[in-house]
Chain A
């Protein structure tokens, strides 16, 4: 069940999540999504097109960040609208063969706005990697019960 609007207030924290990312995760996302742009898995190609290295798909970051909202809402189908701008790339270093992640994405969310008439809550996400905000205006609209 989704949260009840009467128990919510703007500014309320919905929690946080830390997502570890490896090069393998990017290959899996490429396969699952069908986005095989080599900037997401080939170092030489990425640097050849003037990127600092292999970067995560923006859609990997967006897609993994929203899980905090799905879990809070109690039903992923309650997320009726979700948008973001991609401001900084998430650089994923090659840690193949080690236990270390190639990057870590920190996600936290709070209630940005409540709409009693539509019975929705807008969740504003803050998404940070390597000390930089990688998503801006990351907002998910949740249909409440």
Chain B
């Protein structure tokens, strides 16, 4: 199976809304063995000036990987999920993610490069918080490269 080179430049618009819940922040924080009280205790988060529990720095991967799934599961893309290896990842936070946020992600395919029998695909998710009316506030930009291994790679 080969990767479709025409993927480069493709965008997937914001689809479902992700509601950031307190228990999800706590669950994710425990899963990455984080112990900072701002992830668990609302009063501790407020004492630091936050509206509610603060998500760990890599929490946005949940939203980014949901956005990526649109690409990975797109039959036109030709990506075999079982041969995907994560090559690099970056999070740029414009403001922290806190419990109560309603987030959406726009996915952009920034690069597709053939490597041996496989390909390196670079995606960027622009994550926004929905405000009142039609307003949305930039929250996090994530960029990610995945290597889709060819046979024998």
Residues of A within 8 A of B (CB): 19, 25, 28-29, 31-35, 37-39, 45, 49-50, 57-60, 62-64, 66-67, 69-71, 75-77, 79-86, 140
Contacts and interface: CB of A to CB of B under 8 A. Distances in A.
B87 interface: yes
A32 B39 contact: no
B92 A33 contact: no
Nearest to B92: A81
B35 interface: yes
B86 A76 contact: no
Contacts of A35: 61, 65
B27 A32 contact: yes
Interface string B66-98: 100000000000000111111111111100100
Interface of B: 24, 27-28, 30-36, 38-39, 48, 50, 54-58, 61-62, 65-66, 81-93, 96, 149, 152-153
A76 B97 CA distance: 10
A33 B33 contact: no
B52 to A, nearest CB: 12
Nearest to B26: A32
A136 to B, nearest CB: 9
Nearest to B95: A77
B24 to A, nearest CB: 8
Given A70-B34, A75-B38, A79-B57, A33 B28 contact: yes
